[in-house]
Amino acid sequence: MSCFPRLDTSGGFIGFVQIAKDITKHKHIEEQNKKLSCAIEQSPVTVVITDTEANIEYVNSKFYQLTGYTEHEVIGQNPRILKTGNTSPEEYKEMWKNITSGGEWSGDFCNKKKSGQIYWENAKISSIKNSKGIITNFIAIKEDITERKKAEGTLKDRVHDLGERYKELGGLYALSEIINQVEVSLEDTLQGAAVLISPAWQYPDITCGRIVFEDKEFKTDNFKKTKWMQSADIIVA
């Protein structure tokens, strides 16, 4: 609101003139921007905004909390300060191709904190355009998925171990089938047992087997003596 004095023709003061402008819409937009800013700053995920040259202009509180870096150490820097070298150049090339053309990119990064500790993030990156449709910035929204990656690794290990146990049980079952055939000779049984060693082992493609019984050898076709071997006695009760 503006206020001006009102004068008569002789210059005498006769009152005031007030000019008011409705700024309700402006205040509403201002309030919305303030809410958006608070939401980004207090977000449980990391938010990073860079210029078109990938120089960091803004990061939210979660970024500092997660990485251990301070504002002075980050602003103006390139996000490559987090790189571990585990992401291939091809992935980065694909990412830049997408976001510089106005598209989006999402994927996982293996990054490094200021302390050197490794962590995983799932990132969604896109461009920010002005009213003329020109790209002015890039924004990355990243979620810490370190614990999920650990759980996936544990599950993968367990699935692998289960597969190994399955192979071992399969070998034992096949051997029991040979033993239960009363017409099969001891020699054939031992030869069958030797052949069953490979598929029941961790690396069947490079495993060979041999059983020595009473100076006789029962072995797989690919068997040959090397310094790398495992051996154990077979006890018959």
Rounded-to-integer distance, Cα 163 and Cα 203, Å: 12
Q: Name the residue ranges covered by the structural domains of the chain.
A: 43-144, 160-219
Residue-wise pLDDT tens digits, 190-222: 787 777 777 766 667 677 787 888 778 888 777
Instruction: Please give the class, per CATH, of domain 43-144.
Output: alpha beta
* pLDDT at position 234: 64
Q: Where are the alpha helices (DSSP H) in 42-145?
A: 61-67, 71-74, 89-100
Q: Which stretches of the chain drop beneath a pLDDT of 50?
A: none
Q: What one-character-per-residue DSSP string does 167-212 give?
A: HHHHHHHHHHHHHT-TTS-HHHHHHHHHHHHTTTSSSGGG---EEE
Residue 112 dihedral angles phi and psi, to the nearest 5°: -130, 130
Residue-wise pLDDT tens digits, 117-130: 999 999 999 999 99
Amino acid in position 78: N
* pLDDT at position 64: 96
Amino acid in position 47: V
- Among 21, 20, 15, 16, smallest CA distance to 4 is for 16
Amino acid in position 167: K
* pLDDT at position 217: 80
* pLDDT at position 23: 65
* pLDDT at position 237: 53
